[in-house]
Structure 1
Amino acid sequence: MTDNSKSEGTAPSDQAPDAKLKNSVLFVTIVSSFVTPFMASSITVALPAIQNDLHMDAVLLAWIATAYLLSCAVFLVPFGKIADIYGRKRIFISGMLIFTLFSVLCGLAPNPATLLAFRIIQGIGTSMIFTTGMAILTSAIRPQERGKAIGLTVAAVYIGLSVGPVIGGFLTQYLTWRSVFFFAGILGVPSVYLSIWKLKTEWYGARGEKLDVFGSVLYAIALTLLMLGLSTIPDVTGVLELVSGLVLFFVFVRWEQRSRWPVFELSLFTNNRGFAFSSLAALINYSATFMVTFLLSLYLQYIKGLDPRQAGFVLIFQPVTMAVLSPFAGRLSDKVAPRIVASSGMAISAAGLFGMIFLGDQTSIAYIIANLVLLGSGFALFSSPNMNAIMSSVEPRFYGLASGAVSSMRLLGQMTSMGITTMIFSIFIGRVKITDAYHREFLTSIEIAFVISVILCLAGIFASLARGEIQTVQEKPGDTSANATR
């Protein structure tokens, strides 16, 4: 860390950064990008075991994933601002420490309430990692190499997603579901060490500004009410929570427009077409696709009778495809307009989701794998180019906010996806355990969920195309607002 009294400065982003620093940042970012998605994907195949051990109903089971995502989304935007004020590396390392500690504590949870509480705190740590990792990477890599670097980072995410179901299924099968959390904690230890050892520079984007505490609280309450509402529809309480959440979002927007130090830079959306539509496309894409692994994990174990290990081997095909194609897609977006590559990927994803609509008792595993490969191909072609477009469309002083914003879009999309799933479960299954008696209702829920996903994905194609051509924003000479200190 550096003393605040030291001089600050940064080279213009079109000049070559320090090669050693660039490689260190890329290495640490790749390592941290692997750990958190591994946790998310590995726990998915353990959900039926968690349900049986802790006696949870279908709706509460969905909250094991949703509570973690909600916590991430609530704290992403505030921590993005905090990182810009007090240092991105400082927040990044703190997040890795929290994630590692509470991964272990989740494995020790004795009941559903404790597990949900620890998952919420684990999500806070993850939000600190998400909001700073991409901002640090973008600050250290010049624009001409950014697509390739982002592609490698995204590939690490998908490798984590790939091995997660397999390792998670194996651990759940032979060592209980608790070992999945312990394993994630073990992975976090070297990640913390590498972050402290490799990152020799601190980055700031808004030094001297103040945190908008009231705006942060408004944002948190609004998001929470929206997710609670989605999970309790069609009850009257759920409708009231949804409406209250929407009203508070409107109040939040009005407050941010008047705030001297807004926690969320709304001008990024109102004055930057490329950023706005790229973010919207990300929101729609994750809303359409995130539920796939959750639903298929339950389907493969409850309907097809596979054990957790076997289910993990089936689910691995989608993220493996993503991991293989993401570096290629990232490099391609350095040469071809991101809107073309990303929009093509969204269309391919829609085709893969369409095939999932027809899942039934007799559906072959080969058919499921084929659709997972198709979906993985589409997602890889969308994700890296879309991220490159977002980070290239803003000034360096907004890297922290942009990273937090795009992570918010991802998590809001994932929450929306799980919210849709929870709402469908509430309507068609109810607060009961998924057993043989409810298999027909479960299959109906899957069919409706994938129909909604296809519709969302088709809408996302238009959002992706509407962004127009992205012009890379260079740092202005003498601009020290995105400073890095040694």
Structure 2
Amino acid sequence: MERDAGTVRTGTAAGRWVLLATVLGSTMALLDATVVNVALPHIGRDLDADLAALQWTVNGYMLTLAALILLGGALGDRYGRRRIFVVGVVWFALASLLCGVAPDVEVLIVARALQGVGGALLTPGSLALIQATFHPDDRARAVGIWSGLGGVGAAIGPFVGGWLVDGPGWRWVFLLTVPLSVLCLTVALRHVPESRDVRREGRFDVPGALLGALVLALVTYGLIAVSPWAGALGVAAGVGFVLWERRRAEPMLPPAIFRSRLFTATNLVTLCVYAAFGGFFFLTAVQLQTVAGYSALGAGAALLPTTLLMLSLSGRSGALGERIGPRIPLTVGPLLCAAGMSLMLRVGEGASYTRDVLPAMVVLGLGMVTLVAPLTATVLSSVDAGRAGLASGINNAAARAAGLLAVAALPLLTGMGPEAYRSADQFQTTYRQAIPMCAGVLLLGALIAWTTMRTTAAEEPVAEPECRMHCGLSAPPLEPVRESPPVTDPPSDPGAGSVGRD
């Protein structure tokens, strides 16, 4: 079916099948990512897990996903985007099944890490398939449909997930992935054309990807287990990772891309913003249940205004950012988010949703609307068009790594004990220490944006973002590599390929 790549139109049956497959794929990963935080108190009670185990339940997935997402995108370009997407769907489904039947928390953590590997193959492929499959005149519309339907999935996810957690049980959050994956797999194999990039040369930077995963694993373990030795080894591994990438001809993370001051500054803002988001949503889902007495469904639904605001206003925010430049949106956005998080300090025992939670969520959502789309546009405008996909992948991985480290660090910094999530008084005390830390990191991000960015980025080569509508809370949207044309013939050298090139 490679002959159909790059020719499919949105108004045809073929186009609708491709959109269905890609939306199902992204929805699978989105549902598990958005509902796990809400399910944590139930998982802890059922599996008799302490706080560290719950941290690893979240971080096991984020660790492997953040470390391998660049490699996953490159594998699709090299060996076939549909092929790697299908592998990711199968892998993710099997890992989800293992999560659903896990007899103890140790198996659940391993299964979550395996889920992240599947997500690293699945997530980049969803949007890349649209870019490679649809006719150039229809790609923007196809991305808009994909993004809009994904937003609907993000909106209903908390309701479905919360109902499952409160009803049949948290295991069904993972088991629901299996029938979705069967449908997605059937559609992809029968109706999605294959595409790949013949211009990929060299070898994959697998050692770099594994070394990056080791860095994240050691630092995360050091923070959760309060192990200075693990932290020191993580820092040493980080130095080794930098030296490896600088010496390699085709690195996964090309150091040369950071010569752009705007790219570096935007990624620093990304680290601050998504560290705050990761810590906030991890703790708030527990706060609403353990302290405020909400059900899982109520806690998930309480966070819904942020998703709805991003779904309805991200496109306008992106257009505004293109007109006025990145400095103001990337300064004002984090400030609004910090204000919204600070308002959540009013949420305690017996908190009213309309009086205490809703105002905070609206202000936070407006802040996210203000900054997320311009953040993506600024990342893409900071590099040449040929590196837009790589730049977006780095930015996405940085955001996920920031959330990973925040979830690991906040309980340590606030002195949150291993059983704190079971006690309303203990959790309330540490929550009120953690939220100002999240807000402080956002203020740092705003300061970086204000001092390092100009009002306009017109001096930089611009790569127009296609994914304008974004509802995910864990990372900015991925942008597909634009310059890679779909081809009909396989590469002449099956062993060639590259994750990133200087």
TM-score normalised by structure 2 residue count: 0.82
Q: Which moved more, 1:322-331 or 1:111-120?
A: 322-331
Pair 1:414–1:22, CA change in 2 (3 A): farther
1:33 matched to 2:26: yes
Pair 1:74–1:205, CA change in 2 (3 A): farther
The aligned runs of 1:174-213 (5 Å cut-off) are 174-204=167-197, 207-213=200-206
SS at match of 2:202: coil
1:283 matched to 2:271: yes
Q: What residue number does 2:444 align with?
A: 459
Q: Distance in 2 between matches of 1:415 and 1:288?
A: 11
Pair 1:313–1:144, CA change in 2 (3 A): same
Q: Distance in 1 between matches of 2:18 and 2:322?
A: 20
1:384 to 373, 376, 380: 373
Residue 67 of structure 1 deviates from its aligned partner by 0.9
SS at match of 1:248: helix
1:218 matched to 2:208: no
The aligned runs of 1:216-295 (5 Å cut-off) are 216-233=209-226, 238-270=227-259, 272-295=260-283
Identity of matched residues, %: 27
Are 1:46 and 1:308, in contact at CA under 8 Å, matched by a contact in 2? yes
Are 1:151 and 1:331, in contact at CA under 8 Å, matched by a contact in 2? no
Residue 356 of structure 1 deviates from its aligned partner by 2.2
Q: Distance in 2 between matches of 1:81 and 1:120?
A: 20
Pair 1:18–1:338, CA change in 2 (3 A): farther
Residue 124 of structure 1 deviates from its aligned partner by 0.5
C-alpha deviations, 1:34-92, integer Å up to 9, x for none?
33122111222222211111111122122111111112112223323333433333322
Q: What residue number does 1:485 align with?
A: 487
Residue 155 of structure 1 deviates from its aligned partner by 5.1
Q: What residue number does 1:63 align with?
A: 56
C-alpha deviations, 1:297-343, integer Å up to 9, x for none?
21121112222222222232222222222233344445443444343
SS at match of 2:363: helix
Are 1:276 and 1:467, in contact at CA under 8 Å, matched by a contact in 2? no
Q: What residue number does 2:471 align with?
A: none
Residue 370 of structure 1 deviates from its aligned partner by 1.1
Q: Distance in 1 between matches of 2:77 and 2:278?
A: 29
Unaligned runs of 5+ in 2: 465-480, 489-502
SS at match of 1:56: coil
2:35 to 33, 37, 42: 42
Q: Distance in 2 between matches of 1:406 and 1:126?
A: 16
Q: What residue number does 2:461 align with?
A: 471
Pair 1:232–1:159, CA change in 2 (3 A): farther
1:321 matched to 2:309: yes
Letter in 1 for 2:316: F
The aligned runs of 1:36-185 (5 Å cut-off) are 36-136=29-129, 156-185=149-178
Pair 1:71–1:177, CA change in 2 (3 A): same
Pair 1:363–1:163, CA change in 2 (3 A): same
Pair 1:158–1:464, CA change in 2 (3 A): farther
Q: What residue number does 2:406 align with?
A: 417
TM-score normalised by structure 1 residue count: 0.84
Q: Distance in 1 between matches of 2:197 and 2:168?
A: 44
Pair 1:212–1:189, CA change in 2 (3 A): same
Q: What residue number does 2:419 align with?
A: 432
Residue 472 of structure 1 deviates from its aligned partner by 1.2
Q: Distance in 2 between matches of 1:175 and 1:421?
A: 31
SS at match of 2:424: helix
2:291 to 303, 309, 316: 303
Q: Distance in 1 between matches of 2:330 and 2:140?
A: 13
C-alpha deviations, 1:145-167, integer Å up to 9, x for none?
99887676555555444322221
Pair 1:232–1:142, CA change in 2 (3 A): farther
Residue 201 of structure 1 deviates from its aligned partner by 4.6
Letter in 2 for 1:459: L
Q: Distance in 1 between matches of 2:143 and 2:261?
A: 21
Q: Distance in 2 between matches of 1:76 and 1:458?
A: 28
Are 2:326 and 2:453, in contact at CA under 8 Å, matched by a contact in 1? no
Unaligned runs of 5+ in 1: 11-16
Q: What residue number does 2:331 align with?
A: 343
Q: What residue number does 1:14 align with?
A: none
